Amino acid sequence: MCELFAVSSDHPVKLTYQLTEFATHGGRRYRNRDGWGIVFAQPRDAYLFKEPAEGATSALENLVGTDPPMSNMVMAHVRRATAGAPALCNTHPFLRTIGGQTHSFAHNGDLPELRKRYTGSAILGDCVGDMDSELAFMILLDRLKQLNKTDATSARFELFTEFCREMRDFGDCNFLYGQGARLFVHADRRRYEEADGSLTQAREPGLHISEIEPDKRSWHVRGAHIEKDQAGPQILVASVPLEEGHWQGLPRGTTLWLEKGQEMMRA
C-alpha cells in the first residue's frame, strides 16, 4: 500500500530524508512501485518534487536529498497504484493554489465508489488525473470555498473533520492536507503487507504519530535525519513507525490539526 509521512515543526527543519526509507518501501522490499512525491511548505508557496517512478532508484530523489529546502511542514508519499495509471498527474502529493493560499494533499487508501457518486459533477473538471484521491482533494477544496479568509482555522478543521467522516463511507481514507504550514490529518484503516507480499484486509491503525522532545535539534533513524537551528516542538506522522517506541497508532476516525509542531485540535 501507499506510504505517508509528514513533519510539523515550530522552526524550519532540514529533512535529509532522501525518501530513503520510503524508497525501500517504494520498490526494493514492498509493493509501492508507482511513484513518489514530497512537499516542502514555504511562507507563501511550496516546493513540490514528484515523479511516477520507483523511489528506490530515483535520481530526482537523490537530488532532493542532497540539500532539501528548509520547511515547517513537510509531506511525503510513496504510491502503489490501485486506481489510475502510473503517471505524473496521478502522483501524490497534489498541489493547488486558491485565493492566494497553497494547498497540498496526499492519501493512502481506496475510494472506489467516489467517482461514480460524482458522475456529471463540475468538480470532475478540476481533476488533472483520474485518481479517486485527487477527486477527494477537489471535493475538499470545493467545500472550503464556503469559508472566508477571516474565518478561524478551527472552522476549517471542523469542515475537514466532517469531510473525512463522509469520505469514510466510500472506503479507506488516510489523509494529509496542508494549508501553508498547517497540517490536517485523518486516520482510517490501511492494508498491511505480509512477508510473502500479500496484503491483509484493511485494519487500524492507518496512521501513527510521534512527538519529538522539544530540546532535540537533531533526530536520526534508519536513513531519515532532521535538523533545526532552534529547539522546539516537532511532530511526525507516518503510515508505519520509523523506529521502535515513541509512536502511537491513531484510532480510526481521528482528525488532527497540527501547526508549528503542536497539536492544536483533535476530533
CATH code of residue 117: 3.60.20.10
Q: Does residue 127 have an active-site annotation? A: no
Three-class SS state of 40: strand
| Number of domains within the chain | 1
HSE, side-chain direction, 13 A CA sphere, residue 87:
10
**Which is the catalytic residue, given 2, 127, 164, 173?**
2
What range does the domain containing 14 cover? 3-266
**Residue 2 predicted with pLDDT over 90:** no
Instruction: Report the predicted TM-score, pTM, of the whole model to 2 decimal places.
Output: 0.91
230-266 pLDDT, tens digit per residue, is: 889 999 999 888 776 689 999 999 999 999 999 999 9
* 28 phi-psi bin (left φ>0, alpha ψ -120 to 50, beta other): alpha
What CA–CA distance (Å, rounded) separates 249 from 205?
5
186-235 pLDDT, tens digit per residue, is: 999 987 666 666 667 777 799 999 998 888 888 776 667 788 888 899 99
Helix boundaries (H) for 111-204? 114-117, 132-144, 153-167
Q: Are 69 and 17 in contact (CB under 8 A)?
A: no
